[in-house]
Amino acid sequence: MEATAPLVGILLAAGSGSRFGSDKLLHPLPDALPMAIAAARRLRPACDRAVAVVRPDGGRLAEWLVDEGYEVVTRAAVRDGMGHSLAAGVGAAADAAGWLVALADMPFIDPASHARVAQALRGGARIVVPEYRGRNGHPVGFAREWGSRLAALAGDQGARRIVAAFPEAVVRCALDDPGIVRDVDRPADLCERTWEHNAAHPG
């Protein structure tokens, strides 16, 4: 990784939260912090610079993320899926040495996990995928060489196709942190016991 270029965190915060029943990214956690802000605070210390991708109508969330030290990117196309959102974030930080990609509906990731993935990128890894008990999680790290491929993503597939297509480039980082695989789709997912049960018995 180039020492003079920044490592940029990209927080994908453009989801509609349709399965949650309301705007989940603004939903308060038990400590009253909105979900997306909790995720943002856990990611930010691991990065030299941070970009958040939000919907064009994300007014209040966008303002809060700016207060948290994020550069906010809005594009109409981000409504069309994660691929568009990630492409917009990478495009806004094209001069980065690498990107740490995180999701705003994953507020339980330990800050140390973000730091571990960032450390691997800074150490020369090309793609970094964190794992918890064999399950792939977030954040996922990408070195600068993947910029053009990331910026060309579209639809809802995100960067999984890149990870799958180049297994020889992937460094897997085993972490003892269930937060890296714990996303929130429904209100019940905020209850740890319910989430653990659903994770153990998918479907």
* Residue 189, pLDDT score: 73
- Asked if the structure places residue 2 within a domain, the reply is no
* Residue 50, pLDDT score: 98
Q: Which domain holds residue 53?
A: 7-200
| Amino acid (one-letter) located at 45 | P
Q: Beta strand pairing status for 7-13 and 49-54?
A: parallel
Q: How far apart are CA 201 and CA 203, in angstroms?
A: 6
- Asked if the structure places residue 1 within a domain, the reply is no
Q: What would the two tokens of residue 116 be?
A: 């571990």
pLDDT (tens place) for every residue of the chain, 203 residues total: 655 789 999 999 987 666 665 678 988 898 899 999 999 999 999 999 999 999 888 779 999 999 999 999 987 666 678 898 999 999 999 999 999 999 999 999 999 999 999 999 999 999 999 999 999 999 999 999 999 999 999 888 789 999 999 999 999 999 999 999 998 877 677 766 544 545 554 54
- Asked if the structure places residue 177 within a domain, the reply is yes
**Own/partner pairs for 123-127, CB < 8 Å, 24+ apart?**
123/1, 124/1, 125/171, 126/166, 126/169, 126/170, 126/171, 127/162, 127/163, 127/166, 127/169, 127/170, 127/171
Q: How far apart are CA 13 and CA 87, in angstroms?
A: 13
* Residue 27, pLDDT score: 86
| Amino acid (one-letter) located at 146 | W
CATH number of domain containing 160: 3.90.550.10
State the DSSP code for 176. Answer: S
User: Which H or E element spans position 8?
Assistant: strand 7-13
12 beta partners: 53, 103
| Amino acid (one-letter) located at 20 | F
Whether pTM exceeds 0.85: yes
Q: Are 87 and 48 in contact (CB under 8 A)?
A: no
Total number of domains constituting the chain: 1
* Residue 20, pLDDT score: 67
